[in-house]
Structure 1
């Protein structure tokens, strides 16, 4: 067994569901589990990008007798209390590990109590047994896209839904500010951010947008549901570097029939259009350096391209935490000169590959700091 250098294990789909729902106002999460599990998650939230969704997470407070007898009375009573006291638009019933083990039917509970509950009830029954956290985020996204989004009253021609940012996304607050600023250069506006700092009303009105901009592959399934239900096309892309950002803006503009004016582009390039080569001395070059990139696919591909195109730096090794949704990911990396790709390697394999390639630079996370 690989202990990932005695660090934290990969979070389960249960955590992904919590992270995917935590940014939605007027939505409360009711865990069917013990109070201790809920208390731990509140502490866990506090370290996620320093964002704490206060008043979001509740527990029905199961004890040993409830587990043995498989009782659901506390869950029904908790739903009634939240509905009558806090008046949310949606209550998400989320299974914990013990719920799944005893086999409680959350959908059956909802079918029984929904007629006398004002809030919309949604169930998430994985309980940590469906896979890693990305599966949970996908489930949260897809359920909201399928069950909450409604037929639009009107279409907004230059409006965009951004699908992907959640509370677990690194640096998501400042990244969203910059993405919105860039879209503003085109004259486009962000309709809904799915699901960071959004609301149930905004999710209900998602279908009024003209384009879904997917920033993480966990959002592709939800984008497909929205395209099937409402005919909204999607673009899966992120801006990296000068060339990548210009191309990204042109791609978005083409889909919205908007043009990035030459004057606007010239002004942006004058203010920000410097590569690392231009900011260093003329004698300093990076083409002899080998770099390892270790991060999710959504960022890795753009970063590798930026390194090759603008920094003239090679990246012979890319490490991904999981296999991407894109079936052509290996072909795309090889296009930018990356022959070796590792997916979720254990510590021994990763250490062996790093020793073989001997990189001078590692772009990675806290796990990779040990090797650096």
Structure 2
């Protein structure tokens, strides 16, 4: 059937924008039609992502598309830098500007010396790739762009990777993992990729002694962090009593520290109930 009767799976573009909106000292500038960004903002607002002054658009007209003019984009970058002084400006293509092959990387390079913000191009068309692909791409890209490989490790600290604000039960999962690792090992959360982040926090991801991976989309970023910083990771979400115990034992094996007996005893008592 040619007609699409239901809402489609969210695109990679939606995943990337949703993730980048959680970086508190950065802004997102989309080079595309005003209506595209307008509907994106409405969508995110309805899902509880209401971040004023973080998502912007340049707007495009027929001349921009036909002639390939990027004047609006260049002016938009300069204005955002002057008005908000963000640590980073993520410059995104929309579907239409991606199709015509706008060189946003070249534009960012040419303007970098004229602004204080770090300019970061992100190509995303929203065509042909789904939400999961977008998460894999942006988690890995953020790690590659910001992580400092030589940062000193912080004893007993860990990161959670793959907690997207649009994932079901993300906040609940974070709270549960935080409780388990505090009671089981005395470890404390350092940062959570990618919720309530800053560019400084992204740079500090390498300071953790362990990465806890919540979703498959975050595995490439965890593998990258392990390769460049030596930080091991555990990918075994603690769902259910038996898997929670397995999760704790996996963490214990990686960090070389046994699970506290009181924690294991509480699990056994709840499982018996």
TM-score by length of 1: 0.69
Aligned counterpart for 2:119 among listed residues 118, 121, 134: 121
Distance in 2 between residues matched to 1:130 and 1:219, nearest whole Å: 20
State the partner residue of 2:165.
167
- Tell me which structure has the larger Cα radius of gyration: 1
3-state DSSP of counterpart to 1:205: helix
3-state DSSP of counterpart to 2:56: strand
Distance in 2 between residues matched to 1:193 and 1:3, nearest whole Å: 40
State the partner residue of 1:111.
109
Higher relative contact order (CA 8 A, sep 6+): 2
Mapped pair 1:261 → 2:260: yes
- Asked if the contact 2:245/2:267 (under 8 Å) is kept, the reply is no
- Asked if the contact 1:13/1:133 (under 8 Å) is kept, the reply is yes
Aligned-pair CA distance for 1:3: 6.2
Distance in 1 between residues matched to 2:81 and 2:257, nearest whole Å: 44
State the partner residue of 1:361.
none
- Asked if the contact 1:20/1:136 (under 8 Å) is kept, the reply is no
Distance in 2 between residues matched to 1:106 and 1:30, nearest whole Å: 11
Aligned counterpart for 1:182 among listed residues 171, 180, 183: 180
Superimposed CA distance per residue, residues 257-279 of structure 1 (whole angstroms, 9 cap, x where no aligned partner): 23222123324544xx147xx5x
Distance in 1 between residues matched to 2:210 and 2:234, nearest whole Å: 8
Distance in 2 between residues matched to 1:218 and 1:180, nearest whole Å: 20
3-state DSSP of counterpart to 2:152: coil
What 5-or-longer segments of structure 2 have no aligned partner?
none
Superimposed CA distance per residue, residues 317-355 of structure 1 (whole angstroms, 9 cap, x where no aligned partner): xxxxxxxxxxxxxxxxxxxxxxxxxxxxxxxxxxxxxxx
Q: How does 1:219-368 map to 2 (within 5 A)?
A: 219-270=218-269, 273-274=270-271, 278=273
- Asked if the contact 1:159/1:211 (under 8 Å) is kept, the reply is yes
3-state DSSP of counterpart to 2:192: strand
Aligned-pair CA distance for 1:98: 0.8
What 5-or-longer segments of structure 1 have no aligned partner?
279-372
Mapped pair 1:22 → 2:21: yes
State the partner residue of 1:7.
6
State the partner residue of 1:157.
155
Superimposed CA distance per residue, residues 266-302 of structure 1 (whole angstroms, 9 cap, x where no aligned partner): 24544xx147xx5xxxxxxxxxxxxxxxxxxxxxxxx
Aligned-pair CA distance for 1:151: 3.2
Superimposed CA distance per residue, residues 217-274 of structure 1 (whole angstroms, 9 cap, x where no aligned partner): 111111122122212122111011111111111211221223222123324544xx14
- Asked if the contact 2:241/2:267 (under 8 Å) is kept, the reply is no
- Larger deviation: 259-268 or 75-84? 259-268
State the partner residue of 2:193.
194
Aligned-pair CA distance for 1:108: 0.7
3-state DSSP of counterpart to 1:161: strand
Distance in 1 between residues matched to 2:123 and 2:49, nearest whole Å: 25
State the partner residue of 1:82.
80
State the partner residue of 2:51.
53
Are the structure 2 counterparts of residues 129 and 7 from structure 1 closer, same or farther at C-alpha, using a change threshold of 3 Å?
closer
Distance in 1 between residues matched to 2:251 and 2:31, nearest whole Å: 42
Aligned-pair CA distance for 1:152: 4.2
RMSD, aligned α-carbons:
1.8
Aligned-pair CA distance for 1:2: 7.4
- Larger deviation: 181-190 or 149-158? 149-158
State the partner residue of 1:215.
214
Are the structure 2 counterparts of residues 209 and 88 from structure 1 closer, same or farther at C-alpha, using a change threshold of 3 Å?
same
- Larger deviation: 152-161 or 136-145? 152-161
